[in-house]
Structure 1
Amino acid sequence: MTTSVNPIAIRSKKWICDAFLELLQEKPYNNITITEICDKADLVRKTFYRHFNSKESVLVAVIDSMFEDFYNYIQTQNFGPDQMPLAYFTYWEKHKNFLSILIENQQFSLLNDQFVIYLEAMAHIVGSKRAYQSELEKEYMRTMLAGGLWSILKKWMTRDCSESPEEMARMTLNFFDIKK
C-alpha cells in the first residue's frame, strides 16, 4: 500500500513554517502566538494544529527540512567522513541568520536534540574507525558527537563565524582525530 502525499498539507505546513520564521525576525519567540502565526500564514488555527502541536514543533520541522537539504547535498556529493566537517560548516554558514535567531530566542538546544537523530540517519556516511561493544555504546557515541558538533557550532556562531568553514573543518577533524 502506498500513501499519497497531500500537496495542500505540504503547502500549509510550509506556509506555517515560513510565517513563523518571518515573525521570529520581527519579535521574540515567547511573544509570538499561534494566532499570529496563523494570521501571517493566512490559515485557520485548526490547520495549524492539524500539522503541529506547538511553536517548538514548527521549529523542529524547519530544522528537519534543513537536515533533509543537507543530507541530499552530501548524498549527491558522495562525501566521506573526512569531508563531512567542511560540508557541515559550509552549510551552516549559509544559514547563520537562522542559527542566530535560535540562539537569541534560547531555542538553539533544539538543534542538538535533532543532531542525534540525524547522525543515526547518516551512520553509513559518517562511519567509524572502531567497533562498538553494543548498540547502547553506539547511541552514546552519537550523543557525544552531536553534542560536540552542536557546541562547536554555537561557539563559532557567537564568534560571528570569524573562522572560515575550512578552518573549522580542520579543527573539527583534529578534535575528533579524523586524519585526512
Structure 2
Amino acid sequence: MNKQTSNPIAQKSKKWFIDALLKLMKKQPYKEITVKQLSKEAGLDRSTFYRNFDSKEDILLLHLRDISEEYIDKLRPIYQLDMEKQASIFFEFFNENRSLISLLHQNDLSILLLDVHAASAAPSAG
C-alpha cells in the first residue's frame, strides 16, 4: 500500500520511483524488475522504497490514481456535460496515456485500471 504523506521530499521520491518503474517497464517485463533495480534507477536507497511502498504494484496504483484524479478534474468544471464533450475528454485522456496503458497491457496488468476505477467510483464512508 502507498504510504500517505504530505512531506515534499517523500512526494518527490514517489515521483522518482514512478518514473523509474515506467522506464524499466519499457526495457523489461514488470515481473523481472527488482526493488534493487528500481531503487538504482530512481537514484534512491531501497529503504526509501520500503518507507513509501509495500510493493511495485503500489507504485503503479499510485500513478493510476493520480492520472484518474486528473481525468476527473477535467470533467468536474463542466456544469452540463454533453455526450460529445464527455467523449472528447475521454478519448483525449486515453490518447495522452496510451503508452502507460500499453505497458500495463503488455505486462498483464490491465486489471489495475479497473481496480483504480472501481475504488474511485465507490461511495466514500463517512
For the aligned residue pairs, the C-alpha RMSD in angstroms reads: 1.8
**Number of corresponding residues:** 118
Q: Which has the higher contact order (CA 8 A, sep 6+)?
A: 2
Unaligned 5+ segments in structure 2 are none
Unaligned 5+ segments in structure 1 are 122-180
> Aligned partner of 1:119: which letter?
A
Q: Which residue of 2 aligns with 1:33?
A: 34
Q: How far, CA to CA, are the matches of 2:28 and 2:106 in structure 1?
A: 11
Report matched runs for 1:49-64 at 5 Å. 49-64=50-65
C-alpha spacing 1:84/1:16, structure 2 compared with 1 (3 Å): same
Q: How far, CA to CA, are the matches of 1:73 and 1:8 in structure 2?
A: 27
Report matched runs for 1:4-15 at 5 Å. 5-15=6-16
TM-score, with length taken from structure 2: 0.85
1:55-99: CA deviations, max 9, x gaps?
A: 111110110111121122222344637343432222011111110
Q: What percentage of aligned pairs have identical amino acids?
A: 31
- Give the number of the structure whose alpha-carbon radius of gyration is greater: 1
Q: How far, CA to CA, are the matches of 2:45 and 2:25 in structure 1?
A: 19
C-alpha spacing 1:78/1:18, structure 2 compared with 1 (3 Å): farther
Instruction: Choose 111-120 or 76-85, whichever is displaced more.
Output: 76-85
Q: How far, CA to CA, are the matches of 2:19 and 2:80 in structure 1?
A: 30
Report matched runs for 1:26-175 at 5 Å. 26-78=27-79, 80=81, 82=83, 83-120=85-122
Instruction: Choose 29-38 or 69-78, whichever is displaced more.
Output: 69-78
TM-score, with length taken from structure 1: 0.61
Q: How far, CA to CA, are the matches of 2:97 and 2:80 in structure 1?
A: 20
> Aligned partner of 2:27: which letter?
E
